[in-house]
């Protein structure tokens, strides 16, 4: 039996990736800890203003619960009347675009970065995430890099979604599979 090739994490380099000026990242780190990641229920309008100051595009009427984690607000777009739940983690090394009327429930996780498992040096791989209007991402659900959630789709609690989530589809499991269609009553 042949020994598999080894991984050498000591050789990892960020390469092309530049998330922004170090001073901006340091200022965001402090402001994020004090006002966004804090358990203190600061007013939503104040948190939205802070995110906008750091380059996020935040729509009207957005609910920003305590203990949010947002890696880089300058890569974040949130539409109107969205709910961002407690303990939500948006690990946006790349763009995250959230449509209007979207609910991201408590403990959900949105990832835009990963590593190349075939690379000896574990190279960084990035892909944006898009969430369409009216979608609902359930508690503790995970959206992997490159996921595109269609409008009105539901990714149920604890599901792990990757790729395209069809509009109005209901998805569950790991990996997330379509189990139904969302129908909205008038």
Could you give the CA distance from residue 70 to residue 8 in angstroms, rounded to a whole number?
A: 29
Whole-angstrom distance, CA of residue 127 vs CA of residue 144? 9
- Fold for 20-181, please state it: UDP N-Acetylglucosamine Acyltransferase; domain 1 (2.160.10)
pLDDT tens-place string over residues 38-75: 999 999 999 999 999 999 999 999 999 999 999 999 99
Chain mean position to CA 107? 11
Q: Mean pLDDT for the chain? A: 96
* 186 — pLDDT class (breaks 50, 70, 90): confident
Evaluated on CA atoms 20, 106, 137, 177, the torsion sign reads positive
Across 24-38, average pLDDT: 98
* pLDDT digit string, tens, across residues 99-126: 999 999 999 999 999 998 898 998 999 9
92, 74 contact by CB (below 8 A): no
CB 150 within 8 A of CB 167: yes
């Amino acid at each position: 039996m042949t020994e598999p090739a080894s991984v050498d994490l000591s050789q990892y380099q960020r390469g092309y990736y530049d998330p922004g000026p170090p001073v901006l990242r340091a200022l965001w780190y402090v402001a994020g800890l004090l006002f966004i990641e804090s358990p203190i229920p600061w007013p939503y309008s104040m948190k939205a203003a802070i995110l906008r100051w750091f380059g996020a595009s935040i729509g009207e009427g957005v609910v920003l619960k305590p203990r949010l984690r947002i890696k880089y607000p300058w890569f974040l777009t949130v539409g109107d009347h969205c709910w961002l739940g407690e303990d939500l983690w948006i690990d946006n090394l790349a763009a995250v675009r959230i449509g209007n009327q979207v609910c991201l429930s408590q403990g959900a996780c949105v990832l835009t970065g990963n590593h190349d498992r075939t690379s000896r040096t574990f190279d960084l791989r990035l892909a944006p995430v898009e969430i369409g209007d009216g979608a609902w991402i359930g508690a503790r659900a995970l959206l992997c890099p490159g996921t595109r959630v269609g409008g009105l789709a539901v990714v149920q609690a604890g599901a792990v979604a990757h790729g395209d989530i069809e509009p109005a589809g209901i998805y569950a499991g790991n990996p997330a599979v379509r189990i139904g269609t969302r129908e909205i009553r008038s």
